[in-house]
């Protein structure tokens, strides 16, 4: 069984994990997702969000526990050690297809955003090509460049949190009532919708061997 | 230092060292910080102002406030060119004037600067060649690119403006942001002699912000930048308490403290 040995210059600190995973999760999808969750679980959307948070906490705890048991392995390594060579490779192929579909959904989201708000007639392949060349350029520099790019873009987009001040000033707590009256299926549909937005944390499977102070990682990722 | 050449190359550097100059260290720390941050903002302004004008006028009229739109329309109504061509012509003109003025003797150079800057600018607007708002913007961005103390960085900024203008003219704000992100990723990728280029910002070392982006009072800046991997990271400051043992070995520092306290 091959163990991954990662040279020092490919390693990142644990505190960059929070930025990288945050960047994976907060993409262009957050512009639309409050509305999507509201359509499913009307005034109990906050319950759906809390439920999602708890469920995802459990999932991430499982992930970090598994990754800590197999030291310095990422997802294909864990799978080959657990299931043997053939099935391990098969399952990691499934994960590759999963990541591909995730990437595709992010690109489609970006293209839709540009076409709705900025340039309605710009061809889709062109916007996708622009995004792809940027991504290729960042990733071809290794994981340090990719995490650094996500850090710099996170810092330069953090001012957008201030744009929330206007909607917050219009909060009316009477809209939360009648409380607990949406049925279970509305609530679970809301959990489904919001977990789709929080789905960026699978990056942890791949990045974990690159992190060199692993003790702090579990507080950071949750 | 290369044999038979009069200039020396200092390496490794990082991106923010091109924005430091020695008079930042002589003035007070808050003044020095303010000037350095102003230089960084001037760099961003210099790159983004003209492409912003080109993109807003070509593709996105909606973001310009109405009063400005009226005067813009009035000054652009006589111009036969699209904003991209107009901006490219003016930028090229300014580069021409600057480069020609660099080779002239001093007195003639000053006259050329005044003639080129004021007279040609006025004449170009009155002939209906460009709009006067663009003259303001181009002059501002040329000025802003001269605030950088290093000549090489200033010329890099000036050159970098041209692809951004072309991208803005072709693809609007998307073009500007695409090329901006491309430049950012390129700068993150760079390594100068193996040390990361964007040192205190990307491998985030808050302790190293001292001499790079802002300036800290001398009493508190005790550490050399860790991205250069120094052998001795702390700089000995003689205002600190000296006990008797060090007094015997470092007599020179005692003299230095005496001069500070006087």
CB B7, CB B151: distance < 8 Å? no
- What pLDDT score does A184 carry? 79
Same domain, B183 and B241: no
Which of B170, B196, B222 delimits the end of a domain?
A: B196
Instruction: Kindly report which listed range (A57-71, B11-25, B109-123, B245-259) carries the lowest average pLDDT score.
Output: B245-259
Q: What's the number of domains chain B is made of?
A: 2
The verdict on residue B253 lying in a domain is yes
Q: What is the pTM of this model?
A: 0.80
Residue pLDDT, tens place only, A1-18: 345 555 666 666 767 777
Instruction: Provide mean pLDDT across the span A152-177.
Output: 82
The reply to whether B141 falls in a domain is yes
**Tokens describing residue A31:** 């512009």
> Is B79 in the same domain as B140?
yes
Mutate to test the interface with A, among B189, B190, B200, B227 (most CBs of A within 10 A): B189
Residue B98 domain-assigned?
yes
B35/B29 Cα distance (integer angstroms): 10
Is B172 at the interface with chain A, CB within 8 A? yes
A152 vs B59, B188, B196: nearest CB: B188
Q: Looking at the structure, do residues B245 and B123 belong to the same domain, yes or no? A: no
User: In chain A, how many H helices and how many E strands?
Assistant: 11, 0
Do both B137 and B260 map to the same domain?
A: no
Length of chain A: 222
Given B165, B196, B227, which residue is the final one in a domain?
A: B196
Task: Mark whether B20 and B107 lie in a shared domain.
Answer: yes
Structural domain including B257 reads 237-262
From the list A114, A133, A152, the residue facing B202 with the nearest CB is A152
pLDDT greater than 90 at residue A104: no
What is the distance between the alpha carbons of residues B83 and B86, in angstroms, rounded to a whole number?
5
CB-based contact, B213 to chain A, within 8 Å = no
Q: Are residues B187 and B67 in the same domain?
A: yes
Interface of A with B in 152-191 (CB under 8 A): 152-153
Residue B175 domain flag: yes
- Mean pLDDT over all residues of chain A? 78
Residue B245 lies in a domain: yes
In a domain, B99, yes or no: yes
The CA radius of gyration of chain B, in Å to the nearest whole number, is 24
Q: What is the pLDDT of residues B66-87, one digit of tens each?
A: 888 888 888 888 888 899 999 9
**Rounded distance between C-alpha atoms, residue A60 and residue A47, angstroms:** 20
Looking at B166, B196, B226, which one is the last position of a domain?
B196
Q: Looking at the structure, do residues B161 and B245 belong to the same domain, yes or no?
A: no
pLDDT interval class at A221 (50, 70, 90) = low
Q: Are residues B142 and B38 in the same domain?
A: yes
Does one domain contain both B137 and B241?
no
Same domain assignment for residues B19 and B76? yes
B199 Cβ contact partners less than 8 Å away, ≥ 6 residues apart: B14, B15, B16, B205, B208, B212, B225, B227
My answer on whether B162 and B113 are in the same domain is yes
Among A29-43, A49-63, B118-132, the range scoring the smallest mean pLDDT is A29-43
The position carrying tokens 């170009």 is B124
**Residues B250, B246: Cα–Cα separation, whole Å:** 6
């Amino acid at each position: 069984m091959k163990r991954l040995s990662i040279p020092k210059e490919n390693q990142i600190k644990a505190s960059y994990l929070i930025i990288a995973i945050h960047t994976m999760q907060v993409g262009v999808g957050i512009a639309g997702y409050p509305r999507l969750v509201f359509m499913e679980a009307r005034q109990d959307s906050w319950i759906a969000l809390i439920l999602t948070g708890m469920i995802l906490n459990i999932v991430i705890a499982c992930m970090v526990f598994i990754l800590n048991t197999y030291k310095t392995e990422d997802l294909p390594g864990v799978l080959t050690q657990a299931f043997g060579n053939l099935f391990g490779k098969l399952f990691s192929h499934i994960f590759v297809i999963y990541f591909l579909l995730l990437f595709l959904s992010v690109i489609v989201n970006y293209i839709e955003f540009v076409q709705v708000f900025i340039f309605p007639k710009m061809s889709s392949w062109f916007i996708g090509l622009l995004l792809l060349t940027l991504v290729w350029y960042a990733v071809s520099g290794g994981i340090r460049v990719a995490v650094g790019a996500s850090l710099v873009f996170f810092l330069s987009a953090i001012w957008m949190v201030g744009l929330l001040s206007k909607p917050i000033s219009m909060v009316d707590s009477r809209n939360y009532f009648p409380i607990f009256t949406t049925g279970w299926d509305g609530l679970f549909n809301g959990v489904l919708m919001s977990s789709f937005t929080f789905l960026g944390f699978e990056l942890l499977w791949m990045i974990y061997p690159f992190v060199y102070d692993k003790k702090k990682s579990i507080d950071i990722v949750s | 230092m290369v044999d038979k050449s009069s200039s020396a190359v200092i390496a490794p550097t990082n991106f923010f060292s091109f924005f430091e100059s020695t008079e930042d260290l002589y003035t007070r720390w808050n003044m020095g910080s303010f000037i350095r941050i102003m230089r960084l903002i001037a760099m961003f302004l210099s790159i983004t102002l003209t492409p912003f004008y080109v993109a807003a006028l070509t593709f996105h009229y909606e973001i310009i406030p109405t009063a400005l739109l009226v005067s813009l329309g009035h000054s652009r109504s006589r111009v036969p060119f699209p904003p991209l061509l107009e901006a490219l012509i003016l930028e090229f003109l300014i580069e021409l004037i600057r480069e020609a003025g660099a080779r002239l003797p001093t007195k003639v150079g000053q006259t050329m600067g005044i003639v080129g800057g004021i007279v040609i600018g006025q004449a170009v607007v009155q002939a209906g060649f460009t709009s006067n708002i663009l003259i303001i913007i181009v002059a501002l961005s040329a000025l802003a690119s001269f605030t950088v103390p290093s000549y090489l960085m200033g010329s890099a900024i000036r050159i970098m403006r041209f692809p951004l203008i072309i991208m803005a003219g072709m693809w609007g704000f998307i073009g500007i942001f695409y090329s901006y992100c491309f430049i950012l990723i390129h700068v993150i990728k760079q390594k100068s002699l193996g040390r990361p280029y964007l040192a205190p910002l990307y491998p985030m070392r808050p302790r190293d912000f001292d001499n790079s982006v802002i300036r800290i009072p001398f009493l508190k800046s005790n550490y050399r930048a860790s991205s250069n991997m120094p052998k001795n990271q702390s700089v000995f400051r003689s205002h600190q308490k000296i006990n008797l043992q060090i007094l015997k070995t470092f007599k020179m520092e005692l003299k230095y403290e005496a001069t500070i306290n006087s």
